[in-house]
């Protein structure tokens, strides 16, 4: 009886240790890597972070399912990179108002220092609770336009004619803002067009969440998948892979240096820093 008890106790202790260590284990495996590259400051410059307004993970046409939205790190990582770099940062969404944040991205396993900071930041929280509506924003007033991802973005960013029109206009703005995003956020680029009616992403090197990662996470019910849609739009899709793509990361600056895209939730910090670097390089 004692052997059975102590054996069970030992299993429980090991399980508890594993649970406590899990965030560190995932981080070491590649989840939300730290950024150690060059950093620049852009005082007096402006950044716009755009997110989904969709909050239900369900098959197209259905209205019931698990809560979803933007992945917290895909919102908080670029926001604080831009803010700490001296930029003024605005937050917008497709419909405006309260931005849905995927609940699982606020859990202990997915928590990052930037998301913890957000949970203590009343100013940032107010921007998320009362986000600007993209219809009411002049994109040409910004130096950086960043499209955050998350499963919710698969339902509205690529389907928004307003977003496509705004991205198209921003591309030709005199301010020449650097445009980009991560994961499902890149879906907001697929319908932007040039002045001849051609898709802006066609022929450009770009990335976004891979079909492999979507399949591995078994969330294929969303109406759009970034790799598939980028390829359909003529983009030169590229990515990195890992034993599970949730631990991979990749960032691409297109040859014209107008678009910077990141593969997934691990790519937000690097993508944001590289966008700032492109802006800084122009002024040298």
Residue that wins the pLDDT comparison between 20 and 164:
164
pLDDT of res. 61:
86
The mean pLDDT of 71-80, rounded to a whole number, is 98
pLDDT of res. 156:
98
22: pLDDT strictly greater than 80 = no
Contact 140, 134 (CB under 8 A): no
**How many CB atoms within 10 Å of residue 229?**
22
How does the average pLDDT of the chain come out, rounded? 93
Mean pLDDT comparison of 8-12, 21-25, 40-44, highest-scoring range:
40-44
Q: What is the pLDDT of residues 200-254, one digit of tens each?
A: 999 999 999 999 999 999 999 999 999 999 999 999 999 999 999 999 999 999 9
Between CA 128 and CA 272 the distance in angstroms is: 19
Residue that wins the pLDDT comparison between 259 and 3:
259
Between CA 3 and CA 54 the distance in angstroms is: 53
String of b and e for 161-179 (b: at least 16 CB within 10 Å)? eebbbbbbebbeeeebbbb
The first and second tokens of residue 159, run together, are 């389907």
Q: What is the pLDDT of residues 181-215, one digit of tens each?
A: 999 999 999 999 999 999 999 999 999 999 999 99
The first and second tokens of residue 7, run together, are 């054996």
Q: What is the pLDDT of residues 146-194, one digit of tens each?
A: 999 999 999 999 999 999 999 999 999 999 999 999 999 999 999 999 9
pLDDT of res. 19:
47
**148 Cβ contact partners less than 8 Å away, ≥ 6 residues apart:** 49, 50, 51, 52, 70, 71, 74, 75, 78, 181, 182, 183, 185, 268
Q: May I ask the CATH class of domain 42-282?
A: alpha beta
15: pLDDT strictly greater than 80 = no
pLDDT of res. 231:
98
The mean pLDDT of 123-148, rounded to a whole number, is 98
Contact 135, 97 (CB under 8 A): no
pLDDT of res. 20:
53
Percentage of the chain modeled with pLDDT above 90 = 87
The mean pLDDT of 30-56, rounded to a whole number, is 96
The residue extents of the domains of the chain are 1-30, 42-282
Residue of 143, 196, 133 whose CA lies nearest to 168? 196
């Amino acid at each position: 009886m004692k052997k059975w008890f102590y054996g069970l106790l030992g299993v429980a202790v090991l399980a508890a240790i594993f649970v406590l260590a899990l965030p560190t284990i995932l981080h070491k495996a590649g989840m939300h890597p730290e950024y150690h590259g060059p950093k620049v400051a852009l005082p007096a410059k402006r950044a716009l972070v755009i997110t989904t307004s969709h909050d239900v993970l369900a098959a197209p046409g259905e209205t019931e399912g698990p809560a979803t939205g933007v992945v917290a790190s895909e919102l908080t990582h670029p926001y604080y990179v831009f803010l700490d770099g001296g930029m003024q940062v605005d937050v917008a969404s497709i419909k405006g108002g309260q931005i849905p944040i995927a609940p699982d991205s606020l859990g202990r396993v997915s928590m990052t220092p930037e998301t913890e900071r957000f949970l203590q930041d009343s100013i940032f929280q107010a921007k998320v609770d009362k986000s600007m509506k993209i219809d009411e924003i002049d994109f040409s007033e910004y130096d950086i336009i960043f499209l955050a991802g998350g499963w919710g973005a698969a339902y509205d960013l690529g389907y928004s004619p307003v977003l496509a029109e705004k991205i198209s206009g921003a591309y030709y703005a005199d301010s020449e803002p650097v445009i980009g995003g991560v994961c499902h956020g890149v879906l907001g680029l697929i319908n932007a067009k040039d002045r001849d009616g051609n898709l802006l992403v066609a022929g450009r090197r770009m990335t976004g969440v891979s079909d492999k990662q979507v399949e591995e996470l078994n969330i294929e019910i969303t109406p759009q998948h970034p790799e598939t849609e980028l390829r359909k739009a003529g983009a030169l899709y590229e990515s990195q892979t890992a034993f599970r793509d949730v631990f991979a990361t990749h960032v691409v600056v297109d040859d014209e240096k107008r678009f910077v895209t990141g593969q997934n939730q691990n790519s937000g910090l690097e993508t944001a820093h590289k966008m700032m670097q492109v802006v800084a390089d122009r002024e040298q």
